[in-house]
Structure 1
Amino acid sequence: MALQTNNKLGAILIIIVTIVFAAQDAISRHLAETYNTYMVVMIRFWFFAAFSFWLVGRQKGGLARAVRAHHPWMQATRAILLVLEIYVMIAAFVLLGLIETHAVFICYPLLVAALSGPVLGEKVGWRRWVAIGIGFIGVLIILKPSGGVFSPLAAIPFLCAVMFAVYGLLTRKVADKDSSNTSIFWTGIGGAIVSTVVGVWFWEPMSGTDWIWMSILCVTAVVGHGLMIRAYEIAEASAIQPFSYLQLVWGAMIGMTVFGDVLRTNVAIGACFVVLAGLFTLWRQAQNNIDPVPPGPAVKP
């Protein structure tokens, strides 16, 4: 039986999701400052794989249905991309802080919109191209360093956004035949395999306190995904997707209060450009009944 649409509840759930994922990013940064990133990501994906097993087990057909993907190579590519993106994202948290990383990374819906034409064959009108252009002006404002000379480190979160946008486009591409649960299963299992092949060589002892943080990190991934899936079950994607930008706000607050990050003026101005351009793009796509970013697995575990 179809669920009744409840955009208000969906928006509340997405706001909670942004808080959960902002906290997750902060914990990732804390652990990555002490332990090897490859090991941290590997443990995260172990838990995410367990979550994906639980999720598909609740559905008709269960594991057998989830394994039989119609696009196995695309699904495998998605999993590899996501693992690589998380490696780079955590490195950006450590090198640049939460504020500047999130400020640049939030341009990924604009990248999805820009690439949806050549990759998916969707029509991209001039209004959307103008919004995309304004958004990237915002990114350039953010990337402008105080000394006037571009720092290569500033491009790291932009690389994350590109990788995540491609991941999102592939997610939309496989959705023509594969269910969201199938995509989540392949993401969890594939990600666990890839991260284990890399991370097992970098295992190092972890203190008891940090194991608590590691456990919280894994739980936030499961809780965040569970709430997000529920939100997209009961609400329209175009109605709740704009609330995802709140993760920038929470990330900035945590970065300043916990890690002592500084909100530079150009970052604040550039982020406003990006958010406004993204919201306009979301609105235009809602008018055409095109979801700007595929729901479900198009969010980091």
Structure 2
Amino acid sequence: MRAPEGSKPGTAHAPFLGIALMCLAVMSFAITDTTAKWLTFHTNVFVVVWARYVSHFALALLVFNPWSVPGLLRTSRPLLQIGRSALLFATTALNFTALQFLQLDQTVSIMFSIPFFVALFAGPILGEQVGRRRWIAILVGFSGILLVVRPGAGGIHPAAILCLCAAATYALYAITTRMLAKTDSSATTLFYTSLVGSIAASLPLPFVWETPHEPLVLGAMLELGLVAGIGHFLLILAHARAPAATLAPFIYTQIISMIGLGWLVFGQVPSLWTLAGASIVIASGAYLLVVEARSRVAPASRP
């Protein structure tokens, strides 16, 4: 589940094309997570995070660079740009670490809690009120998360906590993306995302580096960032062609891709508990989206 890379509002004149682009984007993210999980069986997880960002940065340089896009590095809020990029890096590191131990369908179900964290954080950060209906949706949604992780006598798997932390950091990332969309261009935000992430991922590299020798591993490391970068770009294109309220429900199609890829690549079949929990989380998240959409429309409809 991803937020647009600081895209500015565009002319929403092709909703069906926007929906198609959104579905392709979330499918790209499912492929990214699948590749990352496969790579963690062959190399250190920090090397996987590094490969994701460096290959993404290489793609960003081909499409957006300071020479072809004058003023690309110009931002009115540099600290917010860096902080936002650091939040996405933290999300990636936490999510990739959790992927080593959890099934793909479990991680995506937990990550679907992002709208609940957005609703919680939007109050103190953006001044948006969390009403009674939102609180009910948040509590019901987290009950669905409990069904997915199923805490029992042995307690919750630590990887599930890491995944929940990833959802929280991503929610903060989504809020800062919304803030930057008012001042900075999509290209600037996308470039800073890959630049800061590449620098942060390179810092621990001397201590964890494992030289890959298998061609398939090298290919997967290259594909990881390329597909992630393409997914973010598709997301930008989708939001330029359809309203966010139209696109948001289609984020949940990612679970279909994750279940299919989990079965094809790892032979993983989701349990009934996971499916039930995911259904509750999706229903609660979709309700939050409807409440948010109505709250935005209501003031404009008043005389």
| TM superposition score category, shorter chain reference | 0.7 to 0.9
Aligned partner of 1:294 in structure 2 is none
1:135 and 2:135 matched: no
- 1:102-141 to structure 2, matched below 5 A, reads 102-141=108-147
1:34 and 2:42 matched: yes
**TM-score normalised by the chain length of structure 2:** 0.87
- 1:23-172 to structure 2, matched below 5 A, reads 23-57=31-65, 62-63=69-70, 65-145=71-151, 149-172=155-178
SS of the residue 2:43 aligns to = coil
Tell whether the 8 Å contact from 2:51 to 2:224 is kept in structure 1 after alignment: no
- Count residues with an aligned counterpart: 287
Alignment equivalent of 1:18, drawn from 17, 26, 50: 26
Q: How much has 1:231 moved relative to structure 2?
A: 0.8
Tell whether the 8 Å contact from 1:104 to 1:158 is kept in structure 2 after alignment: yes
Q: How much has 1:88 moved relative to structure 2?
A: 1.3
Tell whether the 8 Å contact from 2:66 to 2:72 is kept in structure 1 after alignment: no
The answer to which of 196-205 and 25-34 deviates more is 196-205
Alignment equivalent of 1:189, drawn from 191, 195, 211: 195
Distance in 2 of aligned mates of 1:114 and 1:16: 29
Deviations 1:61-114 (A, max 9, x none): 925x23221211121112222222211111111111211111111111221122
The answer to which of 187-196 and 149-158 deviates more is 149-158
CA RMSD of aligned residues (A): 2.2
Q: How much has 1:278 moved relative to structure 2?
A: 0.7
**TM-score normalised by the chain length of structure 1:** 0.88
Distance in 1 of aligned mates of 2:269 and 2:151: 13
Distance in 1 of aligned mates of 2:59 and 2:210: 24
Aligned partner of 1:275 in structure 2 is 282
Alignment-mate amino acid for residue 161 of structure 2: A
Tell whether the 8 Å contact from 2:97 to 2:159 is kept in structure 1 after alignment: no
SS of the residue 2:211 aligns to = coil
Aligned partner of 1:298 in structure 2 is none
Q: How much has 1:202 moved relative to structure 2?
A: 2.6
Q: How much has 1:147 moved relative to structure 2?
A: 5.1
Alignment-mate amino acid for residue 44 of structure 1: R
Distance in 2 of aligned mates of 1:166 and 1:244: 18
Flag the 1:141–1:80 CA change in 2: closer, same or farther, 3 A. same
Tell whether the 8 Å contact from 2:76 to 2:184 is kept in structure 1 after alignment: yes
Distance in 2 of aligned mates of 1:282 and 1:164: 17
Distance in 1 of aligned mates of 2:153 and 2:107: 19
1:215 and 2:222 matched: yes
Alignment-mate amino acid for residue 170 of structure 1: T
Distance in 2 of aligned mates of 1:273 and 1:148: 24
Aligned partner of 2:261 in structure 1 is 254
Aligned partner of 2:17 in structure 1 is 9
Distance in 2 of aligned mates of 1:81 and 1:231: 23
Alignment-mate amino acid for residue 53 of structure 1: L
SS of the residue 1:289 aligns to = helix
Gap runs ≥5 in structure 2: 1-9, 298-303
Flag the 1:198–1:135 CA change in 2: closer, same or farther, 3 A. same
Q: How much has 1:218 moved relative to structure 2?
A: 2.6
Flag the 1:151–1:219 CA change in 2: closer, same or farther, 3 A. closer
Tell whether the 8 Å contact from 2:51 to 2:222 is kept in structure 1 after alignment: no
Distance in 2 of aligned mates of 1:102 and 1:273: 13
Q: How much has 1:163 moved relative to structure 2?
A: 1.1
Flag the 1:146–1:268 CA change in 2: closer, same or farther, 3 A. farther
The answer to which of 240-249 and 193-202 deviates more is 193-202
Tell whether the 8 Å contact from 1:138 to 1:271 is kept in structure 2 after alignment: yes
Distance in 2 of aligned mates of 1:152 and 1:212: 30
Flag the 1:203–1:136 CA change in 2: closer, same or farther, 3 A. same
Gap runs ≥5 in structure 1: 291-301
